[in-house]
């Protein structure tokens, strides 16, 4: 166990020191709910030392007692959040650095996964009183932009879409399904998607809640809005930085993703994935597990084209991008199987390597200075 721990710690250090390099993986346990308590649920998960998670091997009373002495299956993550962790803490640890990278012209992605009811939407969107990662990221972004550049030197655009049953829909302007196409510069784009220009974080909360109301409701689960729908918020930041005689134009893209409930769909081997394909299981999630398995195994061909979700996430998983995954879990023994599956999968995701991220930056100079422009471009090339 100690050897394992040390290997993991080494990997953690490596990841933290290089932008990109590998995916950061976090686990967040939500508080026990009223209905779980009413059903007599026991806590079968312990989160300690800010990064260790223990899961009782059997969800019985004796194991509950044993777990208090930290027995059970042990996992180590880049960070683990106990039920008392607040939204700000989760944001600061998991996403603040990625937002900083976006301001330097890098792309970044954070996604939440876990079973239905595990706390994904709470983590991503939150409530008006306790805004989640999506809202805190925009607050942080606007605060930093105001600090670093003049009004008018930056533009922020938002788009918010849903993938449901392999159909892509605009959550900001519901209507006909959108078609995905490949763009040589921007990667996969959804044709006709609304790009809303945002001026402050305050207006964004209302907009996102409105968008969430538009997420597809399951006919079979009256009060469950999103067990099979994936919601993707993309924030594009373009801004100008003055450097003596020229400007730098930076573009960064932040993608924040609230995945569909992962119950039964996150398999870790190809055989299980194949046997699930015929069943009525979320195709996009299956494709996501396939892609992640191929990435973990270092395969050259990654089947991104197998689903709408993986097409949209291609740049975020395999490309030059800083990526974080937040695995949401319930503390209750009634969700033992789902929690075990989620932790197992999160543990595996730690092995995904990403490419070192590029900076999206262009030099711009007044036209009369074209000689200087050439020079600058040459200097820039040499520096790369
Ligand atoms: P999911 O999106 O994964 O299906 P939700 O985010 O909707 O799950 O969470 C289910 C319920 O638990 C909601 O009522 C939500 O408000 C509550 N909840 C989830 N995480 C937390 C948390 N960290 N603190 C307090 N309540 C939470
Ligand atoms: Mg949800």
C-beta 122 within 6 A of ligand 1: yes
Q: What is the pLDDT of residue 10?
A: 35
C-beta 26 within 6 A of ligand 1: no
Ligand 1 atom, smallest distance to 127 CA? 16
**What is the CB neighbour count within 10 angstroms for residue 119?**
22
Ligand 1 atom, smallest distance to 328 CA? 3
Name the binding residues for ATP. 114-121
What mean pLDDT is reported for the chain?
81
37 CA to centre of ligand 2 in angstroms: 21
Q: What is the pLDDT of residue 364?
A: 66
> Which one, of 347, 340, 261, 264, lies nearest residue 44 by Cα?
340
Pocket test for ligand 1, best of 119, 129, 256 (most atoms within 8 A of CB): 119
The residue ranking higher by pLDDT, 299 or 114, is 114
The residue ranking higher by pLDDT, 166 or 272, is 166
The residue ranking higher by pLDDT, 228 or 32, is 32
Residue 365: is its pLDDT beyond 70?
Answer: no
Query: Cα–Cα distance between 129 and 131 in angstroms, integer?
Result: 6
Q: What is the pLDDT of residue 4?
A: 37
Name the binding residues. 114-121
Listed range (203-217, 247-261, 271-285) with the worst mean pLDDT = 271-285
**pLDDT class of 152 with cuts at 50, 70, 90:** confident
C-beta 116 within 6 A of ligand 1: yes
C-beta 330 within 6 A of ligand 1: no
On whether the CB atoms of residues 364 and 372 are closer than 8 A, the answer is no
Residue 361: is its pLDDT beyond 70?
Answer: yes
Listed range (84-88, 117-121, 316-320, 377-381) with the worst mean pLDDT = 377-381
Residue nearest (by alpha carbon) to ligand 1 atom 5: 119
Portion of the chain with pLDDT greater than 90, in percent: 42
Query: Cα–Cα distance between 130 and 123 in angstroms, integer?
Result: 9
Listed range (151-160, 295-304, 374-383) with the worst mean pLDDT = 374-383
**Which residues are close to ligand 2, an ion, with C-beta < 5 A?**
120-121, 226
148 CA to centre of ligand 1 in angstroms: 35
On whether the CB atoms of residues 322 and 108 are closer than 8 A, the answer is yes
Listed range (56-60, 128-132, 147-151, 304-308) with the worst mean pLDDT = 56-60
C-beta 21 within 6 A of ligand 1: no
**pLDDT class of 343 with cuts at 50, 70, 90:** very high
C-beta 126 within 6 A of ligand 1: no
Ligand 1 atom, smallest distance to 224 CA? 4
pTM to 2 decimal places: 0.84
243 CA to centre of ligand 2 in angstroms: 44
C-beta 121 within 6 A of ligand 1: yes
């Amino acid at each position: 166990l100690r050897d394992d721990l040390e290997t993991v710690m080494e990997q953690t250090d490596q990841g933290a020191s290089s932008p990109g390099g590998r995916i950061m993986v976090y686990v967040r346990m939500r508080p026990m709910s009223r209905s779980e308590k009413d059903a007599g649920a026991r806590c079968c998960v312990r989160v300690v030392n800010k990064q260790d998670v223990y899961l009782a091997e059997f969800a019985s009373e004796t194991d509950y007692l044993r777990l208090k002495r930290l027995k059970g299956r042990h996992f180590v993550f880049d960070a683990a959040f106990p039920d008392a962790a607040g939204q700000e803490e989760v944001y600061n640890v998991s996403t603040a650095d990625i937002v900083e990278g976006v301001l330097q012209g890098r792309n970044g992605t954070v996604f939440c996964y876990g079973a239905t009811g595990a706390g994904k939407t709470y983590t991503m969107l939150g409530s008006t009183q306790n805004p989640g990662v999506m809202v805190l990221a925009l607050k942080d972004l606007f605060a930093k932009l105001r600090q670093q550049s003049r009004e008018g030197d930056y533009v922020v655009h938002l788009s918010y879409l849903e993938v449901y049953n392999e159909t892509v829909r605009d959550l900001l302007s519901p209507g006909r399904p959108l078609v995905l196409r490949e763009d040589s510069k921007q990667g996969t784009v959804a044709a006709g998607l609304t790009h809303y220009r945002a001026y402050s974080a305050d207006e964004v909360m209302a907009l996102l809640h409105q968008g969430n109301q538009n997420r597809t409701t399951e006919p079979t689960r009256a009060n469950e809005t999103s067990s099979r729908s994936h919601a993707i918020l993309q924030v594009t930041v373009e801004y100008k930085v003055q450097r003596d005689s020229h400007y730098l134009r930076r573009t960064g893209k932040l993608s924040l993703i609230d995945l569909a409930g992962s119950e039964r769909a996150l398999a870790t081997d190809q055989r299980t994935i194949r046997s699930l394909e015929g069943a009525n299981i979320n195709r996009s999630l299956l494709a996501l597990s396939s892609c992640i398995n191929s990435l973990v195994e270092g395969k050259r061909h990654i089947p991104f084209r197998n689903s709408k979700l993986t097409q949209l996430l291609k740049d975020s998983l395999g490309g030059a991008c800083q990526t974080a995954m937040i695995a949401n879990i319930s503390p209750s023994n009634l969700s033992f199987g789902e929690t075990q599956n989620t932790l197992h999968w999160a543990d595996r995701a730690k092995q995904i390597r990403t490419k070192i991220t590029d900076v999206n930056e262009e030099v711009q100079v007044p036209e009369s200075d074209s000689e200087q422009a050439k020079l600058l471009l040459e200097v820039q090339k040499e520096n790369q």
